[in-house]
A and B are shown apart, each in its own frame.
Chain A
Amino acid sequence: MSTTPVMQVIGARLSLGGRKILDGIDLELHGGEVVALVGPNGAGKSTLLAAMSGDEPLEAGRILLHGTGLGQWGIGRLAKLRAVQTQESRVSFAFTGEDVVRMGRAPWAGTPEEQRDDTIVAAALETSEAEALAIRTVQTLSGGEKARVSFARVLAQETALLMLDEPTAPMDIRHQEQLMTTVRQRTARGATAVVVLHDLSLAAAYADRIVLLDQGRLAAVGDPEDVLTPQNLQQVYRYPVTVVRDPGSGALLITPLRPHLARPRLPEGELI
């Protein structure tokens, strides 16, 4: 790709509490792609996302957004360029779902964009099927419902870069698929998305590129077929997995080995 990458991570290093969390990460995000960050617990996925969103300062290396250092953008301008969904979606006071989604419009206050607030908030609620949650107090919602409200807030922010940290973790299948479909719709229109995922089949189905992290380093980066191989995954997760193609769709299905499900040996001579 010849155009300037949306984001460039160059030699990112970061330690927390004396432990190396990111150990020399180089990564580029391009316009129109969905990049999934995968890897075992403690691999540095969330920290990398936090660094890319400007929350965690690096010890070494640089992160450029549209060719300019993250720190140079200023908090207000960053809010118009990238939206972040964190893992936690606690709200301190009894704000309703709609209040929270409307907060996503805050960066656009005082600009002409502000006039579209109502339309955008309503559309975001609809997209994440959160209309029924709009009048409910967020504190009383379940984990998955909170995550849907958070995702609607991120959508309402209308930025060209989406950074989502395990957005689907608390969600049911329907909403997982809808969320990832929405993300792809946004990227089809030119946005860029970087998503931390634990569900490898979900990542394989929706991501253009997979970034496999292991102990703060890039274990593999590339197309899902190339990265999500049994060898790579077994090495990184320290657990045997099988990768098969769904006979219908051809999608990659990644399942851990489950010895207790080993097919019972059939008595000799018996027909199935």
Chain B
Amino acid sequence: MQISVPEILASVGHRLGLDWGSLPAHPHAESALWAIRFPRVLMAVIVGAALAAAGVLMQGVFGNPLAEPSVVGVSSGAAAFACTSIALGLSFLGPWTTVVAAFLGGLVATALVYFTARHGGRTEVVTLVLTGVAINAIAGAVIALMTFLGDTSAREEIIFWQLGSLNGTLWVNVAVAGPIALLGIALSFGMTRKLDLLSLGERPARHLGVNVELLRKQVIVVVAFLTSAAVSFAGIIGFVGLVIPHILRMALGPGHRMLLPASVLGGALLMLAADTTARTLVPNADLPIGMLTALVGGPFFFWLIRRTRRGAGGWS
């Protein structure tokens, strides 16, 4: 269905009580716009912003540009818990059940990665990536088990999840994911200066007044927050948190006070573009967006590994 930009503006204006322009001509356009397209667009913005912010935080606290929710297994940890809640038909918290499960999964995975890969105040990059491999493997097994255990509808939901898609986003999903992502992003804004100082290392950061132990706990919780907001309804969408902060760091410099807001915006824009591509690239087919981002982000990750290895510091 084609709806022109003036028609969209007119429809939004109409809802706001403004009577300008002509409403969409197609009889189903109005409902398609409001029931299907708008929640999907908003969810794309939320997911992109949340994943990019989570990437910035993780890279800041690990002091490494390779840290990212999907790479180190935080996304799949969140997904495993969320899948379990879907397959077991848990609904003790109503529409919030999946997202709370995802949050707990993300929290466990982030904490696990952090305490495994940090040693003596430094990130061991090999351990970081290997921990990610291990968590991705375990989470993959849990998701497979839940696919096996779940009934047909749960199974379908889980498969759609693993691919990552914004198709079928409902307003109720937006209402749950939106506030969580907003809260997570707001909390991360309070950490930008400390993350700058942390790039000097843990001891120097402490000498400059940063409570490093507290900061890392806060980052772990906020990353789990952001990841759960993104993963709960859209599934595993990889590499957004890797690509966006990296490109913006090259353009704007590494200071987190600029990097974070720019990444939030950049992530939202990238996700919107990716979702539009997913929706329109093949006529009458909705490509899984997670597949798209992985197709682009995977090679980027390769390039980044090579670059980091050659660059200052190497793997140490």
Contacts and interface: CB of A to CB of B under 8 A. Distances in A.
Interface of A: 50, 53-55, 75-76, 78-80, 82-84, 86, 88, 90-96, 99-100, 103-104, 106-107, 109, 139-140, 157
Contact of B209 (A90, A96, A107): A107
A213 B312 CA distance: 35
B301 to A, nearest CB: 18
Contact of B313 (A76, A90, A109): A90
A94 B253 contact: yes
Classify the interface of chain B: helix, strand, loop or mixed: loop
- Name the 9 nearest CB pairs between A and B, nearest first: A79-B209, A92-B63, A93-B254, A139-B312, A92-B199, A84-B207, A76-B209, A107-B209, A106-B208
B197 A75 contact: no
Given A93-B199, A106-B197, A157 B313 contact: no
A104 B249 contact: no
Given A109-B193, A139-B313, A140-B312, A91 B200 contact: yes
Interface residues of B, number: 25
19 contacts: A79-B208, A83-B207, A86-B203, A86-B204, A92-B64, A92-B198, A93-B63, A93-B254, A95-B255, A96-B253, A103-B196, A104-B208, A106-B193, A107-B208, A107-B209, A109-B193, A139-B312, A139-B313, A140-B312
B197 to A, nearest CB: 6
A50 B207 CA distance: 11
Nearest to B210: A75
Contacts of B198: 92
Nearest to B63: A92
A216 B210 CA distance: 29
B211 interface: yes
Contacts of B204: 84, 86
Contacts of A94: 249, 253-254
Given A106-B197, A139-B311, 9 more contacts: A50-B203, A80-B209, A86-B207, A88-B201, A92-B63, A99-B253, A99-B254, A103-B196, A103-B200
Interface in B34-60: none
**Secondary structure call for the A interface:** mixed
A53 B200 CA distance: 16
B216 interface: no
A244 to B, nearest CB: 39
A7 to B, nearest CB: 15
Contacts of A91: 199-200
B209 A106 contact: yes
Interface in B185-200: 193, 196-200
Given A75-B210, A92-B63, A93-B254, A84 B203 contact: yes
Contacts of A53: 207
A99 B255 contact: yes
B279 interface: no
B308 to A, nearest CB: 11
B196 A75 contact: no
Interface string B298-316: 0000000000000111000
B199 A95 contact: yes
Nearest to A163: B207
Nearest to B259: A93
B145 to A, nearest CB: 38
Contacts of A54: 206
Contact of A103 (B203, B206, B208): B208
A75 B193 contact: no
Contacts of A84: 203-204, 207
A100 B254 CA distance: 11
Contact of B197 (A78, A90, A103, A140): A103
Contacts of A83: 207
A82 B254 CA distance: 27
A130 B43 CA distance: 48
Contacts of B203: 50, 55, 84, 86
Contacts of A100: 200
Interface in B61-92: 63-65
Given A104-B208, A106-B193, A139-B312, A95 B254 contact: yes
Nearest to B214: A75
A92 B210 CA distance: 16
A55 to B, nearest CB: 6
A157 B204 CA distance: 12
A140 B311 CA distance: 9
A157 B206 contact: no
